[in-house]
Chain A
């Protein structure tokens, strides 16, 4: 099982460029998430999707857009990259069972540098 797969693993962008970070999960999970992690900090939620066809803002959504393409895929787009968006980006997925979520599975991260 691949679990949660993120592409690319590394990326360098120039200020103002755009790009899309891809995330796919093969566990038939309903919920998917995008987080960013700056050096020495905890993860901060950018956007999440509780089910196919829905998306919601997290703590730090400004400068990002997302698309829940289907149940498997959840992409994160930077329309005009800024140096403040230099970070490690993690995608995660989980499934809701009863009163709680099951464990969340995380990808290995995309290391993005904006120069």
Chain B
């Protein structure tokens, strides 16, 4: 069974905030939530990660619910270059990333 559930696709108008949801209801207590994106056919790129507190960096914000069963990645001002497939991945310790199918975000001018 998949560890995460993400919508297959989303659209967002350029300049608006993109909010990408992820359900990870079976997440373990020691698993962090990682977000990566893959632009076209390039290698995936790290965005942000968190355990239970909300996190923000220069790329995005991560909101994790108090019960840790879901999270939302927020791109505050989406641009055309943010068009990509976004992956939400629970990961613990020294274990490899396991990718699901992700959400294909299309930013529209």
Picked from B41, B44, B93, the residue with its CB within 8 Å of the CB of A99 is B93
Contact with A along B50-79 (1 / 0, CB 8 A): 000000000000000000000000000000
Contact with A along B23-52 (1 / 0, CB 8 A): 000000010101010000111111001000
Q: Is the CB of B94 within 8 A of A109?
A: no
Q: Is the CB of A31 within 8 A of B43?
A: no
Residues of A within 8 A of B45 (CB): 106
- Secondary structure of the B contact surface, majority rule: loop
- Distance in Å from the Cβ of A10 to the closest Cβ of chain B? 12
Please choose the segment from A13-21, A41-49, A69-77 that sits at the chain B interface, where 4 or more of its residues have CB less than 8 A away: A41-49
Residues of B within 8 A of A33 (CB): 96-97
Contact residues on B (Cβ < 8 Å of other chain), bracket: 20 to 34
Residues of A within 8 A of B49 (CB): 100, 103
- Distance in Å from the Cβ of B96 to the closest Cβ of chain A? 5
Contact with A along B93-109 (1 / 0, CB 8 A): 11111111110000000
B residues in contact (CB < 8 Å) with A: 30, 32, 34, 36, 41-46, 49, 87, 91-102
Residues of B within 8 A of A42 (CB): 87, 99-102
Q: Is the CB of A43 within 8 A of B99?
A: yes
* In the complex, residue of chain B having the shortest beta-carbon distance to the beta carbon of A58: B96
Given contacts A58-B96, A96-B94, A99-B93, contact A104 B101 (CB under 8 A): no
Residues of A within 8 A of B91 (CB): 100-101
- CA distance in complex: A101, B32 (Å): 9
Tell me if A22 counts as interface (CB < 8 A to partner B).
Answer: no
Residues of B within 8 A of A58 (CB): 96
Given contacts A41-B101, A42-B87, A42-B102, contact A101 B94 (CB under 8 A): yes
- Distance in Å from the Cβ of B55 to the closest Cβ of chain A? 13
Q: Is the CB of A48 within 8 A of B96?
A: yes
**5 A-B pairs whose Cβ atoms sit less than 8 Å apart in the complex:** A35-B99, A42-B100, A92-B43, A100-B49, A100-B92
